[in-house]
Amino acid sequence: MSATLAGRTALVTGGNRGLGRAMALAMAEAGADVVIWGRDAGALERTAEEVRATGRDCLAQAVDVTDSAQVNAAAAEAWERAGGVDAAFTSAGVLLLQAATETSDADWEAVMGANLTGMFYCCRAFGEHMLAQGHGKLINVASNFGLHGGANWAAYSASKAGVIGLSKSLAWEWAPSVTVNVIAPGAFYTDMNSHLLDVPEIMAAVEGNTPLGRVGNPPELGPLAVMLAGPGSDFMTGAVISIDGGVIKP
């Protein structure tokens, strides 16, 4: 991948594993220094070492995005130590496949807390710093379930639809200095959903409902992430980009 992000710094929440890890590595391979957030200190450091192996700097911060005080403190530290952050990806979240009638108050609140409230905490903190520095690109990771929903995905779909609505509102509010766009992935094989996709019947159903006939591999998200973090997205804000093998069509 060419060094299209040379001289820039990118921050990735949930950057210790899955799609977040893939985006963090893509940022580094494109020439950016990287800040990664996550809750698993061991996984964070492993990803940080992978980033550093590309020759880029990496600051690893243990952060629970559902705690606004942690988010605010970590964002302030990241901006200070990195000398500013040019692009931030919010990809931390949780998954819940459960019938709506079986979803408890606690289940609902856990999903909303991680996927939507935590997302808002990050957006608010990052936006404050980006507006102060006069520029920035915020890229929120939602899901194609936020666009089409699905049986037994009520809480998850609602949280991701909320991410899309939040992002579109912020795109209006923070223009023109800060752009806000959304990546809406479909099924990618990660440690978060492997317990589902490792079930042959579920994998067959997912592949059968995908025009390209397979699930995605996390590194396939990298080129899109690099484009959104770089000059290629300078005239984009409020966009929702699906990368799902054709499940969502324009």
Q: Which residues are catalytic?
A: 156
Cα separation, 154 vs 101, in Å, equals 10
Angle CA(100)–CA(104)–CA(109) in degrees, nearest 5? Answer: 100
Yes or no: say if 38 and 15 are a contact pair by the CB < 8 Å rule.
Answer: yes
Residue whose C-alpha is closest to residue 186's, from 143, 149, 223: 143
Cα separation, 238 vs 46, in Å, equals 33
Helix extents (H) in the chain: 18-29, 41-52, 68-82, 105-112, 118-133, 145-148, 154-174, 194-197, 200-208, 222-229
Structure-derived torsion over alpha carbons of residues 110, 148, 229, 168, reported in degrees to the nearest 10:
-80
Residue whose C-alpha is closest to residue 119's, from 180, 195, 41: 180
Cα separation, 182 vs 242, in Å, equals 9
The label of the residue with tokens 């903190």 reads: 125
